[in-house]
Amino acid sequence: MHNKTDKDATYEELTIGGNIYTAGNAKSFKTGDWRSKTPEYIVENCKQCGLCFNVCPDDAIPVKEDLKRRDFDYDACKGCGVCAKVCPFKAIEMK
Amino acid sequence: MSNLIEIRWHGRGGQGAKTASLLLADAAFNTGKYIQGFPEYGPERMGAPITAYNRISDEPITVHSNIYYPDYVVVVDDSLLESVDVTAGLKKEGAIVINTTKEDEEIKKLLNGYEGNIYKIDARKVSMETLGKYFPNTPMLAAIVKVSGVMSEEAFLEDMIGSFKHKFAKKPEVIDGNMKALEMALKEVSKVN
Amino acid sequence: MGIRERLSGNEAAAIAMKQINPDVVAAFPITPSTEIPQYFSTFVSNGEVDTEFVAVESEHSAMSACIGAQAAGGRAMTATSANGLSLMWEMIYIASSLRLPIVMSLVNRAVSGPLNIHNDHSDAMGVRDSGWIQLFSENNQEAYDNLIMAHRIAEHKDVLLPLMVCQDGFITSHSIENIELIEDDKVKEFVGKYQPEHYLLNDKEPIAVGPLDLQGYLFEHKVQQAEAMRKAKDVILEVAKDFEKMTGRKYGLFEEYKMEDAELVVVCMNSTAGTTKATVDELRAKGVKAGLLKIRVFRPFPAEEVAKALTKAKAVAVLDKADSLNAVGGALFEDVVSGMFVSKVNVPTVNYIYGIGGRDTTVQDIESVYNDLSKIVENGDIGNPYRYLGVRGDK
């Protein structure tokens, strides 16, 4: 009762007033479909310098325990291009 | 509600007619009555004619309107007699009490042939002699208590001393004067014949 | 036993607020409710309450501050009238849609213009569809009692809606009358502690309040508000039962005065109900079967219950202290007759717009309404159902 926020929940299931009781819920909203330009990860140019992922506003550049970035999470990437701008090695190209 | 008494006050803004009506309500409340005390608010300014009302009863009062057929009328400023129809709707079994120094004949002429009892009091004299300043509301309060008989004079005086002690907690020196004003006013009220 | 006192309606409201001792009061002064925050700020200065008093710069800010305080997890109260409520308008809807049980003392006054400071119900009627519970009060006693019951109703888990307690500006707000107050400790116990399930200042549960709510959601959230309003009826009655146990004073969704065998019935709200009681008494003494149905709970509107109570009447007059300017009739009239229609109660019913801008309404005025009703019963013809009471030039 009154604990869901998903699109299929009925009025009896939805949280009242649309309140959101869980932190970090941005993950459940796929903002990838807002994207008009798409960043391409050029692995051979990447030096793993670490400048790109911490400027990403959407946490769309996954970094694992080895502290190395992987390819983009296109479900989350809005295509803002900030990462491409900060990359000194032409490892990200907006297309 | 046959024991219901309705009183209308006529005064000028700043003379304390509203305060007097609230003090009367207080005093009657303290003798165990049901009361209403309310002013009629207009564009109030110092000196503008104002009206205030009291209902006093042994039973709960539910009516919430102004009073058009009062049992008693109190006129705090006799200059109102010429501009306001103070006896409008006043019951002839009732009475009017006026703060004035005018002669009886002149008063009667100004009241358009009102058939009920007319009382007068020189509230200025009472106030100046007992308080040294002109506060007509205190003597007029005593006058209407006497004329209406809404409570006994003893009960009234006893209650008022309590009220004044509370009201003038920071100025205890004026309590005596106010009590004297009430006592003197109870004696000074006279019937216009 | 209660404490015998004499207070104005505004004093009564302020004393109720003192006894409730809310966490936050945010208010901006406006006639005729000015005295409520004025008295209350004195209580704050004297240390009689531990409320945070926020002297804001407008009513819009007053309601905004209440919303912030209530969302943060506090109990917030305010007071206003007429144009003050108009300036709150935007935030009034925010408060109810965020489901924040804020309590307001609304001292009813005509919404300008032309400029008028006196009583009618146009302010309350303007927000009747805003999702606030609206309780109306005949006198200072009911304004006080309704406030004491307010938080229990508004904060109930099935309700969670803001609530306004209405009383008539000047007529009861500035009239000194007898009242029976409840002892401080009893009020404290009755009102209880505010324990919201979710609130912004809970560091164990970070939450978001008032997010974007588009096509996929707003409809459901409005249905939730409507559901809460429907459920509020039972909660109001439950709380009234507990209140009666404490004080002996009985409250329902409405009050029926000499209705058992009443043929001619007036339906009205607030102080006019008292004047109507006096009229009913006078008419009963003359053998006229007059009755009064006084609405206490206007939102949620007890349509079915009102219709049922009017089944045996031969003619009904609904008195509206605000004109809806819709060429049909006042808001109370529309609610009463639509309730009757749906419940298949077919009693001749007429509407009177009265008391606008503080126009005084006397026992004689109300008596003329009962006279009109008895003519309707005689002739079997209601004529014009949309009438005026006490206006110059009425035909």
Q: What are the residue boundaries of the structural domains of chain C, listed by start?
A: 3-247, 254-389
Indicate whether C52 pLDDT > 70: yes
For chain B, list the domains and their CATH numbers.
5-191 (3.40.920.10)
pLDDT (tens digit, 9 = 90+) per residue, B111-144?
Answer: 988 999 999 999 999 999 999 999 999 999 999 9
Q: Please give the C-alpha separations between residue C366 and each of B68, B78, C23, C153, C271, in angstroms, as whole numbers.
A: 15, 35, 43, 33, 13
Domains C3-247 and C254-389 share a fold: yes
Tell me what ipTM this predicted complex has. Answer: 0.94
Indicate whether B41 pLDDT > 90: no
User: So what's the pLDDT on residue B44?
Assistant: 65
Q: Is A18 on the interface with C (CB under 8 A)?
A: yes
Q: Is B64 on the interface with C (CB under 8 A)?
A: yes
Beta-carbon separation of C98 and A23 below 8 A: no
Mean predicted lDDT score pLDDT of chain C: 97
Give the residue among B22, B24, B2, B7 at the shortest CA–CA distance from B91: B7
Mean predicted lDDT score pLDDT of chain A: 93
Tell how far CA C144 is from the center of its chain: 12
Beta-carbon separation of C139 and B64 below 8 A: yes
By Cβ distance, the residue of C198, C219, C227 closest to A19 is: C198
Indicate whether C1 pLDDT > 80: no
pLDDT (tens digit, 9 = 90+) per residue, C60-97?
Answer: 999 999 999 999 999 999 999 999 999 999 999 999 99
Identify the architecture of domain C3-247 in CATH.
3-Layer(aba) Sandwich (3.40)
CA–CA dist C44, C46 (Å, integer): 5
CA–CA dist A15, A25 (Å, integer): 14
pLDDT (tens digit, 9 = 90+) per residue, B87-117?
Answer: 999 999 999 999 999 999 999 999 988 999 9
pLDDT (tens digit, 9 = 90+) per residue, C26-36?
Answer: 999 999 999 99
Indicate whether C312 pLDDT > 90: yes
Beta-carbon separation of C176 and B22 below 8 A: yes
Q: How many CB pairs under 8 A join B and C?
A: 59
> Mean pLDDT across the stretch C128-145?
98
As given in the structure block, the two tokens for residue C53 are 């008093």
C118: chain B residues, CB-CB within 8 Å: 41
Greatest alpha-carbon pair distance for chain C in Å reads 70
User: So what's the pLDDT on residue B1?
Assistant: 42
Interface of C with B in 263-302 (CB under 8 A): 271-272, 274-275, 277-278, 281
Beta-carbon separation of C177 and B36 below 8 A: yes
CA–CA dist B168, B138 (Å, integer): 14
Pick the CATH number of C254-389 from 3.20.20.60, 3.40.50.920, 3.20.20.80, 3.40.50.300: 3.40.50.920
pTM of this structure? 0.93
Is the CB of residue B124 less than 8 Å from the CB of residue B136? yes
Mean predicted lDDT score pLDDT of chain B: 93
Chain C contact partners (≥3 CB pairs within 8 A): A, B
pLDDT band at B2 (very low <50, low <70, confident <90, very high): low
User: So what's the pLDDT on residue A26?
Assistant: 74
Q: Which residues of A40-64 are buried (b: 16+ CB within 10 A; e: fewer)?
A: ebeeeebeeeeebeeebebebbeee
